[in-house]
Chain A
Amino acid sequence: MSETELAQELRSNVGEMALDVEQPSRNNIFVTIRPEDITKVVRIVWDGMQSRFAIVTGIDVPGGIEILYHFVFDEKDTVVTLKTRVAKPFPEIESITPIIPGAEWIEREVHDLLGVNFRNHPRLERLILHDNWPEGVYPLRKDFKPEDAK
């Protein structure tokens, strides 16, 4: 199948920076990488393999905050997701906005709601929370209590 070709291509391009490459279904490939390698892998997958940057998502899991970068290969009908995990309580990762300018706002939103600091982001300000929202309270973390936000 051509999708497995894509998974093998990814394995060979990303090389030893890919801790794991799994394909749970025909249209989804998950590549687990270390947070330090994010800019290099994004260059390979977006720039080198010519995919389309879709979105960044984040979720609070017991081991830290998992940040997922989704890239779409339209002609192959596949979504390739780069999975990284950064440690709480002060998660930090390199910003991909210098490479992909369109990632600016979604990284601001992940910063607002999950508290991830993106290094070298051109403008890491509040995006979607209210101006009076207290600093340091991140609503999408599992330990968020509504009383903190009054």
Chain B
Amino acid sequence: MSLTMWGLKKSPWVFHVNTGACNNCDIEVVNLLTPRFDVERFGIQLVGSPRHADALVVTGICTRQCMPRLQEVYRQTPKPCVVFIIGVCACTGGIFHDAYHRWGRVDDAIREVDPNAIIAYVPGCPPKPEAMALGVLKALEML
């Protein structure tokens, strides 16, 4: 394993994208940074610009307006990068599966841009912070 790959596993910087969520999943994502769960000990930092990010944390059903913006954010993230799809709404649509303003699945939107994107799913409504941390660590191990 090269040094840069070791660095990527030990220091994933995260950018959070909300494509139309009810904010429950977003609150749980931000919970991870609080002293109770403290993901900074794994090197995870919340960064403000997608150009600094290694991992995109995506929540929300993908609304029609948000789909091109999500793709633009994915293009702006320097590769190699991982996409974490958090919450049932982002994974499959959840209870909003047939909603009129929904475009489709988040992973379809990302695979339109990059068919080889690395995507990890953490379902739940909202997923527990422990589940999210476990998902992130498992995905990093598999990198």
Q: Interface on chain B toward A: helix, strand, loop, or mixed SS?
A: loop
Q: Interface on chain A toward B: helix, strand, loop, or mixed SS?
A: loop
When distances are taken between beta carbons in the complex, the residues of chain A under 8 Å from B63 are 130
In A110-150, which residues have CB < 8 Å from any B CB?
129-130, 132-133, 139, 144, 146, 149
Which interface residue of A130, A146, A149 has the most chain B CB atoms within 10 A?
Answer: A130
In B71-103, which residues have CB < 8 Å from any A CB?
98, 100-101
The answer to whether A139 touches B100, judged by C-beta atoms less than 8 angstroms apart, is yes
When distances are taken between beta carbons in the complex, the residues of chain A under 8 Å from B98 are 146
The answer to whether A144 touches B65, judged by C-beta atoms less than 8 angstroms apart, is no
When distances are taken between beta carbons in the complex, the residues of chain B under 8 Å from A146 are 98, 100
The answer to whether B100 touches A130, judged by C-beta atoms less than 8 angstroms apart, is no
Q: How far is the CB of B133 from chain A (nearest CB, A)?
A: 35
> Is B64 in contact with chain A by the CB < 8 A criterion?
yes
Tally the A-B contacts, defined by beta carbons under 8 Å: 13
Q: CA–CA, A149 to B98, complex, Å?
A: 12
Count how many chain A residues have C-beta atoms less than 8 Å from C-beta atoms of the other chain: 8
When distances are taken between beta carbons in the complex, the residues of chain B under 8 Å from A132 are 64
Q: CA–CA, A129 to B103, complex, Å?
A: 12
Q: CA–CA, A93 to B117, complex, Å?
A: 51
Q: CA–CA, A129 to B65, complex, Å?
A: 9
When distances are taken between beta carbons in the complex, the residues of chain A under 8 Å from B65 are 130
Q: How far is the CB of B19 from chain A (nearest CB, A)?
A: 13
When distances are taken between beta carbons in the complex, the residues of chain B under 8 Å from A129 are 101
B101-134, CB under 8 A of A: which get 1 and which 0?
Answer: 1000000000000000000000000000000000
Identity of the chain B residue whose Cβ is nearest the Cβ of A133 in the assembled complex = B64
Residue contacts A-B, CB under 8 angstroms, 13 given: A129-B101, A130-B63, A130-B64, A130-B65, A130-B101, A132-B64, A133-B64, A139-B100, A139-B101, A144-B100, A146-B98, A146-B100, A149-B100
Q: Which residues of A approach B to under 8 Å, CB–CB?
A: 129-130, 132-133, 139, 144, 146, 149
